[in-house]
Chains A and B, each alone.
Chain A
C-alpha cells in the first residue's frame, strides 16, 4: 500500500475535521433551530448507522436490535440528566424508585454510562444469541428489541411505563452530536484496521475458515455486538437529549428498519458509505415531510397524506436491495489516496 505518507494523511484528516468544526460553529450561530436540529439528527443517524454497520456489514452478524439498545441508552441518559423536580413531575402515576430520584450526572458521564449499560445489555443478550446465524439471529435480536420495549412499558417505577419521560434537558447540540460522530468514525477506522477488524471481516467472509485460521469466533462476535450496542446506546442518549421526550413505543422495529435502510443504502461494510447515506437519508426524510402536509398549488388543493413518508422509505429500501444491492459504496471506502489520485482503481480496502 504505497499511498500518501501516513503523516500527510493524518494532517489531511485533522484539516478536514477543523473545517467541519468551523462549519459547525457557523451553523450553531447562524442557522435557524429547525436546520440545526436536522444537522443534529444527521450526526445521530451517522452514529446509529455505523453501529449497525459494525455488526451487519463488517462482522456479518445480521442484527436487528439497534432500537432496543437505543432505548437503553436513551433511558439511562434521561434518568441521569433530568433534575429531581422534573422527575417528580413525570412520575405522577407511580412514584419513581427512590434510588433513581436524586441521581444526577453531567452530560458526558450520562453519555458514557448510557453506552456502557447498553453494551452490558448487549453482552448479556449477545452471549447466548450469537450462537445463532443469519436469519435466526435477525429474528432473535428483533425479538429482544421488542422485549426491551415491553419491559420498559412494565417497569413503571424506573421508566414511567407507557407515559414515557418528558422534559429531558436538551443538552445535545452540534458540538456534542458531531463530536461524538467524529469520535465514533475515527474509533471505528482504527478498530477495523487493527487485527480485530481483520478478524471481524474474516468472520463475515467465512466463519468456518476464520475459525480454522485461529480466530476466536465467540470472542470476536460478542465484542462486535457489544461495541455496536455501546455506540447505539450513545446514539440513543444523544437522541433523548435532543428531542427531550421519549416513550417505549418510539424504540420499536420501525426505528431499526430506518437505520437498516441507511446501512444498506450506504453499503454494508463501508464507513464512508454509511456516513453519506445517513446524511442524505436524514435530509431526504425531512424534505419528504412536504408529501405529508397539505399543498396549495394556487388552483388546486392537495390534502396531506399522513404516513406517505414511510411508504416512500420502504419503496427506497426495496428498490435499493433489488437494483443496487451494493449500495452507494459497497465495501469500498473514500480515502485520501483515492481522492487525491482521482480514484484510479486504488482503494484502501482491497477485499479481504
Chain B
C-alpha cells in the first residue's frame, strides 16, 4: 500500500469519524445527565435526513433553508420524545426507561416505514459538495473536507456552551448529581429538555451529512450509525464530551482502515464496532477518558 493510498483512506476515515463523533456527543450528553441510553437517537438521524428530503422535494424550499428547518424540527422532536416517553419514568427503575427508549426507537422506525414508505429514496445533494480536490495523487471529494470542518466548528461551539455559559454550568451540575443540582435551584426539567434538544440538533446535522455522504434514504438508515455512535461514546468514556469525539474518530478511522487493509474482512465491517466495544468494556469499562465510579451500596 502506497503512502498516498493510505492518506486517502485516512482522510475518508476522518470524515466518517467526525460524523460518528457528532452523533456520539448526543448520546454522551444525555447519558451524562439522565443516565439513559437514548436508543431513539439513531432514528432521530433518520428523521432529520427525511425532513430535508421532504423540504426540498415536497415544499421546494432552497436546500439550506430545509436543512436549517430540519435541525430545528429534529431538536423539537428530541425534546418531545423526552417529555412524552422519558420524563414520566424519571423515578422508575432504570430498566423501565431503557425499555421505553427501545419502544420509541421501534416506533420511529416503523412509523418511518408507514409514513415515508419502505422503498429507498435518493437524497438530494447540492453540487457544492460534489467537487473533487486533488492533492498530488490523493483526491478528496469536497464533502470529505466539509464534514470534518463543520464538525469541528460545532464541537467548539458545544464546548463553549458547556464550559462558559450558565446553562452549561447547570448541565455540568446535573451530570454530577441531579438531586443536589435541584436543591441548588437549577430547573432540572429545563436543563434535561435543553440537553435533548441540543443533542438532537447535533444528531440532525450528523444525519443530514450522513445523507449527503450516503445518499440513499430509507427508514432504517439510523440504526447502524446509532449503535455505532453509542459504541463510540462508550469507547471514549460515556458522559465525557471529548471522549465521545475521540471514540468517534477511533471507530470511523478504524473501520475504514480495516476494510482498506483487510478487504477479505469487509463483510464484517459492521461487526468491527461491536468487537471494539466488547474489548473496551472488558479491559477499560469506563472508556478511554472516563473516570472510575465506585459502586455504592
Contact = CB atoms under 8 A, between A and B. Distances in A.
Contact of B113 (A135, A209, A306, A313): A306
B157 to A, nearest CB: 29
A151 B270 CA distance: 10
Contacts of B102: 257, 260, 317
A128 B98 contact: no
Interface residues of A, number: 43
Interface stretch (A43-51, A141-149, A225-233, A341-349): A141-149
Given A146-B227, A260-B99, A136 B92 contact: no
A139 B118 contact: no
Interface stretch (B14-22, B64-72, B129-137, B273-281): B273-281
B107 A311 contact: yes
B227 A321 contact: no
Interface string A174-190: 00000000000000000
A338 interface: no
B contact face: mostly helix, strand, loop, or mixed: helix
B69 to A, nearest CB: 25
Interface in B246-297: 267-268, 270-271, 273-275, 277-278, 281-282, 285, 295, 297
B37 interface: yes
Contacts of B85: 318, 322
A224 to B, nearest CB: 16
Contacts of A146: 227, 270-271, 274
Interface string A293-328: 000000000000111101101110110011001000
Contacts of B113: 306-307, 310
B95 A318 contact: no
Interface string B35-51: 01100000000000000
Contact of B285 (A132, A151, A325): A132
A194 to B, nearest CB: 25
Contacts of B109: 310
B6 interface: no
Contact of A311 (B36, B110, B268): B110
B230 interface: yes
Interface of B: 36-37, 85, 88-89, 92, 94-96, 98-100, 102-104, 106-107, 109-111, 113-114, 118, 227, 230-231, 234, 267-268, 270-271, 273-275, 277-278, 281-282, 285, 295, 297
29 contacts: A56-B95, A62-B95, A128-B282, A131-B285, A132-B281, A135-B94, A139-B277, A140-B278, A143-B274, A144-B274, A146-B270, A146-B274, A150-B267, A150-B270, A209-B297, A257-B102, A257-B106, A261-B103, A268-B95, A306-B114, A311-B114, A314-B104, A314-B110, A314-B111, A317-B99, A318-B85, A321-B99, A321-B103, A322-B100
